[in-house]
Amino acid sequence: MKKKLLSFIVLAGLIMILAACGNDKAQPVSINEATDTCETCNMAVIDNQHATQIILENGKSMVFDDVGCMYEWVTKHENEKIDAQFVRDYHDEEWILVDDATYVYNQSVKTPMAYNVISFKDKATAEEFAAENEGSTIMTANDLAEHDWKQKDDKANHSHSHSDDEKDDHSHSH
């Protein structure tokens, strides 16, 4: 009888350990528009399809207002231990792991910091968007790692809708 009880306890313990491992995957956190700012450019992060996020192995979550800002941070902090990176689907804003998404680069696409890259949860939707928008390039996460993350001269995407004599409050460099 004791053997059965001991076997049951060991089995129950293994199940709990395995279950805990299964729940250990990093999950994206909600964005708080009132307090969250981009780790790279310090602009407010809007809870929309351009928001991205990194979860470090120590559990710290960092949010970014543009996928380009996230990649700039990764480049400058290459020794940081990253648990997961998330982007959002351009249409339904669902969080997606960076490696699972398909990207479209197009200079006429407006993104918060004028990096002009948007993400999609499925390749077919990305290809459809690219076909409808001339000048688009389909990219994978591997392509993004090699991408030249320079802000485009057309920063008018987010800041130059002001009148000429008004100062541009958004101008800054990374």
pLDDT in tens, 23-45: 468 899 999 999 999 999 999 99
CA distances in angstroms from 15 to 1, 9, 21, 151, listed in the order given: 21, 10, 10, 49
**pTM score of the predicted model:** 0.73
Residue from 21, 48, 54 nearest 112 by CA: 48
Mean pLDDT, contiguous 10-residue spans, the chain (174 residues): 54 47 75 96 96 96 96 92 97 96 95 96 97 96 86 48 35 39
Q: Do 70 and 85 touch, CB atoms closer than 8 A?
A: yes
Residue from 159, 128, 166, 131 nearest 65 by CA: 159
| Residue 106 amino acid letter | N
